[in-house]
Amino acid sequence: MNPRHDHARGFTLLEVMVAMAILGIALMGLLGLQHQSLQSVIRSQDMTQASMLAQTMITQAEIDRFPDVGATHGDFQAVFPGKYRNFRWEEVVSPSGVFPDVRKVKVVIFYGPNMRRTYSLTEFLHSPLPVPITQ
């Protein structure tokens, strides 16, 4: 018998360490992808909530029928207590510039880290009452 073939076959410590390093790098890549996916879901949820809140503000402007010209701002705590704490709104009502009985209503929702993200929605509202034409 040859003494070289008597020892048991197996992996050396170096081979095991290289395999563990490769596995660790692959797992770190997968963990990074999972983190990006989670952040994408959170951004998507925030944008969806911002769009729904902007639509709520526009609906309120429609209910008010013909809002006064000016700018207002606030949060959603009066309407939705305890919810939407990371969302703020601003509403700017201005004349349409063309028709005296039409107002431009722009709603901007601020959200995200340091309120840096925005979602805006603009609608033109017509006065339900006839506006006298001045000559």
DSSP state of 134: P
Decide if domain 46-126 falls under CATH 3.90.1150.10. no
pTM of the model: 0.71
Report CA-CA distances (Å) from 58 to 70, 74, 86, 96, 132.
Answer: 15, 14, 19, 16, 26
Domain boundaries in the chain?
46-126
- In tens, the pLDDT along 47-90 reads 999 999 999 999 999 888 888 899 999 999 988 999 998 999 99
Report CA-CA distances (Å) from 103 to 27, 68, 92, 122, 131.
Answer: 56, 9, 10, 10, 12
- In tens, the pLDDT along 12-43 reads 888 889 999 999 999 998 888 888 999 899 89
